[in-house]
Amino acid sequence: MREYTNQEYRDVLRNTSLNSPLVDEKLAQVYGKIRREEKKKKGRRMKKVFAGVSLMAASFALMIVFCAANPALAAKLPIMGSFFKEVEEKVSYKGDYSSRSEKLIPESGTEEGTEESAEAESPYVQTDNGATISLGEIYCNDMALYIGIQIKTEEPLSKEFIEESMGQWDYSTIGIHSTATADVAESVGLAFSDGLGMPSPYFIEGAFEDDCTFTGIIRIDASEFVEDLTPDYDGEITVENWDEHFRRIGMPDKFQYQLSIDKIFDSYTWTGDYDHPGEHIQIPECIEGNWNFTLDIKKDNSDCIVKEINERDENGFGIAKITKTPYEIQAEAILPEGESMADYFVAIRDAQGKPLESQGGYAEIYNIYQRDVSKVTVYICDYVTYMDECQAENWENLPEKAVYAKEITFEE
Residue 410 gets the label, from left (phi > 0), alpha (psi -120 to 50) or beta, of beta
What are the residue ranges spanned by the domains of the chain?
Answer: 6-298, 305-409
Confidence of residue 276 (pLDDT cuts 50, 70, 90): low
Q: Can you tell me the mean pLDDT for 135-160?
A: 93
For residue 178, pLDDT over 80 is answered with yes
Q: What is the pLDDT of residue 190?
A: 59
pLDDT tens for each residue of 278-313? 554 555 678 999 999 999 999 998 889 999 999 999
Mean residue pLDDT across the chain: 75
CA end-to-end span of the chain, whole Å?
55
Task: Give the whole-number percent of the chain exceeding pLDDT 70.
Answer: 67
Task: Decide if domain 6-298 falls under CATH 3.60.15.10.
Answer: no
Confidence of residue 51 (pLDDT cuts 50, 70, 90): very low
* Better-predicted residue by pLDDT, 89 or 2: 89
For the CA atoms of the chain, what is the radius of gyration? 21
Q: Are 222 and 251 in contact (CB under 8 A)?
A: yes
Q: What is the pLDDT of residue 196?
A: 63
Q: Can you tell me the mean pLDDT for 239-248?
A: 80
Q: What is the pLDDT of residue 191?
A: 54
Range in 69-78, 228-237, 254-263, 299-308 the model is least confident about = 69-78
**Displacement of CA 40 from its chain's centroid (Å):** 22
Q: What is the pLDDT of residue 194?
A: 55
Q: Within 13 A of 45's CA, how many CA atoms are on the CB side?
A: 19
pLDDT tens for each residue of 182-200? 776 566 665 555 556 666 8
Q: Can you tell me the mean pLDDT for 132-150?
A: 94
Q: What is the pLDDT of residue 224?
A: 80
Task: Give the whole-number percent of the chain exceeding pLDDT 90.
Answer: 45
Q: Which residues contact 327 (CB under 8 A, 6 or more apart)?
A: 93, 95, 97, 141, 144, 359, 367, 368, 369
Q: What is the pLDDT of residue 266?
A: 80
* Better-predicted residue by pLDDT, 24 or 315: 315
For residue 36, pLDDT over 80 is answered with no
CA angle centred on 385, ends 408 and 223, rounded to 5°:
55
For residue 6, pLDDT over 90 is answered with no
Report the b/e string of 80-108 with b at 16+ CB within 10 A.
bebbbbbbbebbbbbbebbebbebbbbee
Nearest to 295 by CA among 151, 138, 99, 186: 138
